[in-house]
Amino acid sequence: MKKIKKILALLFCLFALQAQAADLDYATFRALPILHDGRVKPIESFARIYLTEISGAPTLPDMTAPQWLAEVLFDPAHAMQRNIIRIDQTPIVQMLGLPPRADHFYSYAEVTKAFEAQSAAVTMILQKSAEARGAVENDFINRYAAVTDFFQLLNAAAIIAPSHAAITPRVAKTFNLPPGDLTALDLLPHQTDITARLDRIRRAKGGHIQNYNADEKAVAHLAFYLTNIQMLSDGNRLFRVIPSAWDNNWYAPWELITGGHGAPQTIELLNDWRGLATAYDVKSSDAFQEAARKIQTDSAVQTHAPIWKLKLEVYYQTLALIPWAVLAYGLYFIFFIIAAVRKNKISNLTAKVSIAAGLFIHASIILSRVLILGRPPVSSLYESLLYVSFIVVLLGITFRRRHAEFLPVGALLGAIILAISPIYAPQGDTMNVLIAVLNTNFWLATHVICITTGYGTTLIAGTLAHVYLFRPSEKMALWLRRLALFALLFTALGTLLGGIWADQSWGRFWGWDPKENGALLIVLWLVWVLHGRMTAAMNPHAFAAWLAAANIMVALSWFGVNLLGVGLHSYGFTSAAAWGLAAFCGGEMILIAALYIFASARNYRPAHAL
Amino acid sequence: MRPSRILTGLTQPAIIFYALPWVMVLLILGTITQRYAGLYVSEHLFFSSFIFWFRGVPLPGMLSILALLGVSLIAKIILKSPWRRPMIGTLITHLGALLLLLGGLLTAVTSHEGNMVLAAGQAQNFFTDYHQRELVVMKNGGVVFTCSVAQLRKGDVIHDAALPFQLSLQTICRNCDLAREERLLKLSELPPNKTDEANRAGIAFNLSDGLASRDYTALESAPPVEIKRGKDRYGIAIQKHAYDLPFAVRLDELREDQYPGTDIAREYQSLVTITDGAVHWQAPIRMNEPLRYRGYTFYQAEIDQVGPQRLSVLAVVRNTGRVFPYIAGLVMAVGMITHLMISRKIAP
């Protein structure tokens, strides 16, 4: 409950109240560095993470994430009135006594008042253990955490933002205050004198401010303001924008001052940030841009962090290229069909341009991530989706001359996998750092790349097997066997490399971990269908049908084991995905059975012995 | 049936064709069971068993199937593999698979694994098994009798020449705690923990020596039951099995590097000193970079916090078959690539 009271205190700290959101140039501001979750990232990414946490989306209808963050930092009084906290669950809305709204958005001021009013119920949920909480209560905890983070952000720049305090000339002279609109940073050195003076006034005139003269009121306001700032900023460590002069840590403004981490370079940066806050306050676009540039230069000098990396991440975040790549692959597929039906050159050319554009965009996405994170492209379930979709398109392009159906199948698969990828980045694409055991570029570059390439190859083989059942041909039958061998090579090698990694880091080659078992399942399935075909236990149709079912094995291994929520590899546990997976597996089984019956009924018999 | 016919039968591809689906079934069952019963139980039920009982019906366990596949592979390689160029890739791949199975067999038979928990400055010349518990009797501090808890059954009576008393076992439980019952502390059985390492085995027994008879309770991770006979002091305890090392390991320093501004560990590292006879030297053990010495490998497994003290948990493994997967992987990769290259050339 302490937190709630602290949050409420902010509502009464109204010195910072000023005009509407400023229309400024945010180009440099969004690329300023900040240390967050163990990684130096641009303000753009930081703002998107918190805006997504609070509102459910990385941008607002009328504001970009950096614009919103600037308002939160430098004009908190307005930011807390903006309806951006998303509460979807009706029971939570009812419990907090909030008015029901169609858009589900509430302001910080509304939500924190509701927390205070319903403090008993809120405390009861907060005290429950994770196991005892239901889905709605978990959602409430999630909303509470969002409000707590919002609170930290609202106060993150309080120490450097102009106070707008009415200081009389006499008070300024008494405490030897510099001229201009002062910040808490200017006032804090005088706090002891100001508090002592207020004590004397209280002793002489009592505690009612209406009995004070203008000078005494100014002293009371200053003392109240400083106490409030101190209370609100205490423990505020979210906004780490000042790199330490001595080690690789970064500090939030308040932490820098109170923790004794200051040095001439850090004070310079703190003053730069004060300049930015002042420029925002006076709504000077030039001054804002100038102050942001100064922060950028001074930070780069101090940390040697390359500015291009931060800019690249800003482009990566703002361009949001994934839908464009999906669109390009989709367009290719449509124009490929049109070209096949109508035999027209323009459709053919459009298809080629679309696939080239799609692959270029997709490669840019993966390369950007490699450059930004400085590690191989796959280290999470989300990244595996980005990479496997790339591999299937690349395989399609590589073998496009061998068989006409390779590329359309690759493009379609690529588009589908890429399109579902955002589901596996539920908190937005935060590009997190890796836990110690995964923090090894060698094994990420060998085992993970190999196994995900195996997934991609198996999916291509499995999907082409569907096509074969629909339109059998000898050439395709031969390619199915060859692709199954390719898939076996990558999955078997990837699984063995995984075992060797496990042997290197955990001391055992094989531990029956669910993810290991999942990978082995694909390997065994491929070994089984290949032996079935080689020993003629399966006819070509049966071989194609069982190979098509390898898609189900890949889905189970890729997503299914994460649903079990056990083992060392379970990096993306989601319960909602279980239904999607079950629907996919069921649908695939029905489709494969139907295609097999269809193929058998046509009684096609390849002449070539495979 | 004549031996030659059995051998020929073993080379039949039908073996792999029908055995593999069963392996996959066991794999899926074992994986799903982990969610409900933990890895240890699942491994014993499906993966490390010769027979898997399903409602009283014995079905082949993973070890039986792997053994069958191994024998079939050997028979096929010797008797039925055509040593012709188009088949060379397949043959090499099969050799690789056989090596992998042999490595698995060697590991299953010879490997020991466990851990060593060290505080800074502490030295140790043994490590303890993860799972295997023992009933240990000590006389004046020295071990005089040990017996694996897994072999003990309720009602067993333990006599031994080294013991001046006999123990009649009344209760044995895999996971238990002590509960007060009529002013006496008795064993109360708890449901087994999913992680076997977290279980606390316990044994309630009657100790008699002709003169006196009394009930006692021994519990894992609890102080030993103290018995005095004449001038001798006996201690009865349940402990994880300890493997002696031919050298000592001392933890000098434990380092944890975190990502700046977070609690997320970027790297763990234990700086240890190995003392082997008169020789000693310092070596680091990092995440993904183990220390190997005299057939033992030490891995940085985790860091434990007990009160204010930080402890380094080192996984210790001795596995004579560890090199097999490396060679098998290489052989299988060469085999599959060769097969692909050859089939590319001969395909129309």
pLDDT digits (tens, 9 = 90+) for A131-164: 777 778 888 888 999 999 999 999 888 888 888 7
Say if residue A22's pLDDT is above 50: yes
Give the tokens for residue A538: 């399966």
pLDDT on residue A132: 77
Q: How confident is the model at residue A600 (pLDDT cuts 50, 70, 90)?
A: confident
Instruction: Quick: pLDDT tens for B241-260.
Output: 989 999 999 999 998 887 77
pLDDT on residue A576: 65
Same domain, B149 and B96: no
For testing the chain B interface, which of A441, A517, A529 should be mutated: the one with the most B CBs within 10 Å? A517
- As a whole number of angstroms, the distance between CA A307 and CA A116 comes to 44
B259/A37 Cβ within 8 A: yes
Q: How confident is the model at residue A572 (pLDDT cuts 50, 70, 90)?
A: very low
Q: How confident is the model at residue B348 (pLDDT cuts 50, 70, 90)?
A: very low
B288/A504 Cβ within 8 A: yes
Q: What are the strands, taking DSSP E only, across A117-195?
A: none
B297/A505 Cβ within 8 A: no
A524/B23 Cβ within 8 A: yes
Which residues 311-340 on chain B approach chain A with CB closer than 8 angstroms?
315-317, 319, 322, 325-326, 328-329, 332-333, 336-337, 339-340
Q: Are B259 and A40 contacting, i.e. CB atoms less than 8 angstroms apart? A: no
3-state helix/strand/coil string of A551-584? HHHHHHHHHHHHHHCCCCCCCCCCCCHHHHHHHH
Size of interface A-B (CB pairs under 8 A): 162
Say if residue A19's pLDDT is above 90: no
Nearest chain A residue to B43 by CA distance is: A512
- As a whole number of angstroms, the distance between CA A29 and CA A277 comes to 11
Say if residue A573's pLDDT is above 50: no
Domain end position, chosen among B213, B242, B271: B242
B43/A507 Cβ within 8 A: no
If you average pLDDT over residues B136-148, what whole number do you get? 89
Nearest chain A residue to B342 by CA distance is: A482
Q: Which of A36, A248, A517 sits opposite B31 (nearest CB)?
A: A517
How far A251 CA sits from the closest chain B CA (Å)?
A: 8
The C-alpha angle A291, A297, A302, rounded to 5 degrees, equals 125
B322/A249 Cβ within 8 A: no
Give the tokens for residue A338: 């049109």
Q: Which residue has the tokens 């500090």?
A: A251
For testing the chain A interface, which of B73, B193, B259, B302 should be mutated: the one with the most A CBs within 10 Å? B259
pLDDT on residue A12: 41
Residue A20 or A432, more confident? A432
With a pLDDT cut of 70, the percent of chain A lying above it is 91
Average pLDDT in chain B: 86
Residue B194 or A327, more confident? A327
Of A89-93, A445-449, B245-249, B251-255, where does mean pLDDT reach its minimum?
A: A445-449
B27/A517 Cβ within 8 A: yes
Cross-strand bridge partners of residue B311:
B119, B304
Same domain, B304 and B256: yes
Number of structural domains, chain B? 3
- As a whole number of angstroms, the distance between CA B158 and CA B173 comes to 17
Which residues 41-80 on chain B approach chain A with CB closer than 8 angstroms?
42-43, 47
How far A443 CA sits from the closest chain B CA (Å)?
A: 9
If you average pLDDT over residues A493-516, what whole number do you get? 84
Of A509-513, A565-569, B83-87, B316-320, where does mean pLDDT reach its minimum?
A: A565-569
pLDDT on residue A610: 43
Rg (CA), chain A: 30
Which residues 110-149 on chain B approach chain A with CB closer than 8 angstroms?
113
Phi, psi of A227 (to 5 degrees): -65, -40
Q: Which of B17, B27, B339 sits opposite A531 (nearest CB)?
A: B17
Same domain, B120 and B48: no
B339/A38 Cβ within 8 A: no
- As a whole number of angstroms, the distance between CA A76 and CA A18 comes to 9
Long-range contacts of B158-167 (CB under 8 A, 24+ apart): B162/B137, B163/B137, B163/B234, B164/B209, B164/B229, B164/B232, B165/B207, B165/B208, B165/B209, B165/B227, B165/B229, B166/B207, B166/B208, B166/B209, B167/B205, B167/B206, B167/B207, B167/B236
Q: How confident is the model at residue A1 (pLDDT cuts 50, 70, 90)?
A: very low
Q: Which residue has the tokens 């309806």?
A: A83
Helical spans, DSSP H, in A343-405: 345-373, 381-398
Q: How confident is the model at residue A233 (pLDDT cuts 50, 70, 90)?
A: confident
Q: Which residue has the tokens 């199954």?
A: A484
Instruction: Quick: pLDDT tens for A102-136.
Output: 999 999 999 999 988 888 888 888 888 777 777 78
Residue A329 or B79, more confident? A329
What residues of B are in contact with residue A499 (Cβ under 8 Å)?
Answer: 325, 329
Cross-strand bridge partners of residue A584:
none
How far A545 CA sits from the closest chain B CA (Å)?
A: 16
Instruction: Quick: pLDDT tens for A534-550.
Output: 888 888 899 999 999 99
pLDDT on residue A570: 42
- As a whole number of angstroms, the distance between CA B65 and CA B24 comes to 11
Same domain, B184 and B225: yes
- As a whole number of angstroms, the distance between CA A254 and CA A250 comes to 12
Question: Looking at the complex, does the CB of residue B343 fall below 8 Å from at least one CB of chain A?
Answer: yes
Domain end position, chosen among B242, B275, B301: B242
pLDDT on residue B2: 64
With a pLDDT cut of 70, the percent of chain B lying above it is 97
Say if residue B65's pLDDT is above 80: yes
If you average pLDDT over residues B308-334, what whole number do you get? 89
What residues of B are in contact with residue A34 (Cβ under 8 Å)?
Answer: none
- As a whole number of angstroms, the distance between CA A341 and CA A335 comes to 10
A436/B265 Cβ within 8 A: yes
Residue A47: partners with Cβ closer than 8 Å, 6 or more residues away: A30, A65, A66, A68, A69
Instruction: Quick: pLDDT tens for A587-599.
Output: 999 999 999 999 8
Say if residue A427's pLDDT is above 60: no
Nearest chain A residue to B313 by CA distance is: A506
**Residue B306: how many CA atoms within 13 Å on its side-chain side?**
8
| C-alpha B181, offset from chain centre | 36
Q: Are B268 and B255 contacting, i.e. CB atoms less than 8 angstroms apart? A: yes
How far B251 CA sits from the closest chain A CA (Å)?
A: 19
Highest mean pLDDT among A209-218, A571-580, B57-66: B57-66
Same domain, B121 and B268: yes
B34/A506 Cβ within 8 A: no
Which domain range does residue B96 map to? 3-110+323-346
Of A379-393, A419-433, B123-137, B208-222, where does mean pLDDT reach its minimum?
A: A419-433
Same domain, B12 and B104: yes
Q: Which of B34, B113, B336 sits opposite A566 (nearest CB)?
A: B34
- Supply the DSSP symbol for B78: I
Rg (CA), chain B: 26
Same domain, B85 and B136: no
What residues of B are in contact with residue A509 (Cβ under 8 Å)?
Answer: 103, 107, 322, 325
What residues of B are in contact with residue A528 (Cβ under 8 Å)?
Answer: 16-17, 20-21, 24
If you average pLDDT over residues B50-66, what whole number do you get? 88
Q: Which of B43, B32, B25 is nearest to A514 (CA)?
A: B32
Same domain, B118 and B106: no
Average pLDDT in chain A: 85
Q: Are A216 and A227 contacting, i.e. CB atoms less than 8 angstroms apart? A: no
Cross-strand bridge partners of residue B137:
B145, B236
Domain end position, chosen among B207, B225, B242: B242
Task: Using the CB atoms, write b or e for B227-246: b if 16+ within 10 Å.
Answer: beeeeeebbbbbbbbbbebe
Nearest chain B residue to A244 by CA distance is: B260
Q: Which of A482, A521, A567 sits opposite B27 (nearest CB)?
A: A521
What residues of B are in contact with residue A506 (Cβ under 8 Å)?
Answer: 299, 301, 315
pLDDT on residue A480: 92
Handedness of CA B306, B312, B313, B316 (dihedral sign): negative
What residues of B are in contact with residue A433 (Cβ under 8 Å)?
Answer: 259, 262, 264, 266
- As a whole number of angstroms, the distance between CA A162 and CA A277 comes to 7
For testing the chain B interface, which of A242, A249, A447, A496 should be mutated: the one with the most B CBs within 10 Å? A496
A492/B332 Cβ within 8 A: yes
- Supply the DSSP symbol for B4: H
Highest mean pLDDT among A467-481, A516-530, B103-117: A516-530
What residues of A are in contact with residue B20 (Cβ under 8 Å)?
Answer: 524, 527-528, 531
If you average pLDDT over residues A309-330, what whole number do you get? 93
Instruction: Quick: pLDDT tens for A65-78.
Output: 999 999 999 998 89
Q: Which of A510, A521, A564 sits opposite B24 (nearest CB)?
A: A521
pLDDT on residue B307: 80
Q: Which of A39, A499, A608 sits opposite B325 (nearest CB)?
A: A499
Handedness of CA A372, A373, A376, A380 (dihedral sign): negative
Same domain, B266 and B163: no
Say if residue A567's pLDDT is above 50: no
Nearest chain B residue to A238 by CA distance is: B261
The full DSSP string for A474-536 is HHHHHHHHHHHHHHHHHHHHHHHHHHHHHHHHTS-S----HHHHHHHHHHHHHHHHHHHHHTT
Cβ atoms within 10 Å of B191's Cβ, excluding its own? 8
Question: Looking at the complex, does the CB of residue B40 fall below 8 Å from at least one CB of chain A?
Answer: no
Q: Are B81 and B306 contacting, i.e. CB atoms less than 8 angstroms apart? A: no
Same domain, B337 and B276: no
For testing the chain A interface, which of B31, B331, B337 should be mutated: the one with the most A CBs within 10 Å? B31
Do the strands B57-60 and B51-54 form a parallel or antiparallel pair, or are they unpaired?
antiparallel
- Supply the DSSP symbol for A145: H
- Supply the DSSP symbol for A162: B
- As a whole number of angstroms, the distance between CA B157 and CA A270 comes to 77
Same domain, B151 and B66: no
Nearest chain A residue to B265 by CA distance is: A436
Residue A426 or A523, more confident? A523
Q: Are A526 and A538 contacting, i.e. CB atoms less than 8 angstroms apart? A: no
What residues of A are in contact with residue B37 (Cβ under 8 Å)?
Answer: none
What residues of B are in contact with residue A461 (Cβ under 8 Å)?
Answer: none
A38/B266 Cβ within 8 A: yes
Q: Which of A270, A262, A272, A253 is nearest to A153 (CA)?
A: A253
Residue A448: partners with Cβ closer than 8 Å, 6 or more residues away: A376, A378, A379, A384, A494
Helical spans, DSSP H, in chain B: 3-10, 14-42, 62-75, 88-110, 324-346
Instruction: Quick: pLDDT tens for B261-296.
Output: 777 777 788 999 999 989 999 999 988 788 999 989
Same domain, B225 and B148: yes
Q: Are A433 and A474 contacting, i.e. CB atoms less than 8 angstroms apart? A: no
If you average pLDDT over residues B93-100, what whole number do you get? 93
Long-range contacts of A166-174 (CB under 8 A, 24+ apart): A166/A218, A166/A221, A167/A218, A167/A222, A168/A214, A168/A215, A168/A218, A170/A215, A171/A215, A171/A218, A171/A219, A171/A222
B328/A496 Cβ within 8 A: yes
